Amino acid sequence: MSPKAGWALDEIAARIARDLEPGSCVNLGIGMPIRVGAHLDPAAGVILTSENGLIGIGPPPEPNRHDPDVIDAGKGPVTLLPGASVLDHADAFALIRGGRLDVGVLGAFQVSQRGDLASWRRPTEPLGSVGGAMDIAVGARKRYAVMMHCDKSGEPKIVQYCTYPLTAPRCVNRIYTDMAVIDVTEQGLVVREIHPGLSLADLRAVTGASLLPLAAN
């Protein structure tokens, strides 16, 4: 029986937003990660970038006021802050791979206990879409994966070994789900935070790999 307690998508997004260092350069992937932008404190000065060359993305536009040439990776309308700039695609990925991107927040189908990420194709589907995920997974200085803790049929998405095709091996530093925040460490998966309605035993019951409690030090 799977526990029902869990954070809403916007609560997960707000949790990730709190973990982004002031002034850091961040890429938000398509899907759940893009929600993080709406929860950033403007005073923190996090620099949001997009794989299609935008640096300095601001809040969503007001309805019917959007600029059709200003979109993010998810192809949705966004705004540019004062001080924003634009790169072409080759340079946008130079930024991603070249060490200037502090954090990449990536959606995920599965994450393994050693931090392998699978995010671009379900094994049952012949057609996958990788987009910029493979570049961000190897290029960002820190890689955060965000996903529901279980898939729609209740199967764990945190696993010993990914059964879905990999985006990159050993790349995820931290996993955010509706149930927990988990760090990928040399020692294994360490639970940093758990939904207040759940026990560690509840979490272990819906996780396909060993979980270590946060050391009490």
Partner 1 sequence: MAQTVGGGRNKLWSSARLAVADISDGAVVLVGGFGDVGVPFRLLDALAAHTARGLTVVSNNCGTGERGLAALFKAGLVSKACASFPSQSGNHHFKAAFDRGEVELELIPQGTLAERIRCAGAGLGGFYTRTGFGTELADGHQTREINGVRYILELPLRGDVALISADVADEAGNLRFRRSARNFNPVMAMAAGLTIVQVNRIIPVGALDPDDVHLPGVFVDRLVELTSP
* Contacts to partner 1 by CB under 8 A: 50-54, 67-71, 75, 80, 86-90, 92-93, 96-97, 127-135, 138-139, 165-169
Q: Pick the catalytic residue: 51, 125, 155, 193?
A: 51
Minimal distance, residue 110 CB to partner 1, in Å: 13
The encoded tokens of residue 6 equal 């869990």
The length of the chain, given as a count of residues: 217
The encoded tokens of residue 214 equal 């946060």
Minimal distance, residue 88 CB to partner 1, in Å: 5
User: What is the arrangement of strands in the sheet containing 25-28, beginning at the earlier edge strand?
Assistant: 80-86, 54-57, 47-49, 25-28, 103-107, 142-146, 174-176, 180-185, 188-194, 211-213
Our CB check for partner 1 shows the closer of 89 and 141 to be 89
Minimal distance, residue 163 CB to partner 1, in Å: 13
DSSP 175: E
Minimal distance, residue 11 CB to partner 1, in Å: 26
Determine which helix (DSSP H) or strand (DSSP E) holds 212, and give its type and residue range. Answer: strand 211-213
Active site residue 51: yes
Question: Do 118 and 125 contact (CB within 8 A), yes or no?
Answer: no
Our CB check for partner 1 shows the closer of 96 and 203 to be 96
Our CB check for partner 1 shows the closer of 23 and 99 to be 99
Minimal distance, residue 49 CB to partner 1, in Å: 11
Our CB check for partner 1 shows the closer of 82 and 196 to be 82
Helix ranges restricted to H, 20-156: 89-97, 133-139
Contacts of 193 (CB under 8 A, 6+ apart): 15, 180, 181
The encoded tokens of residue 113 equal 């206990």
CA atoms within 13 A on the CB side of 152: 0
Report the catalytic residues: 51
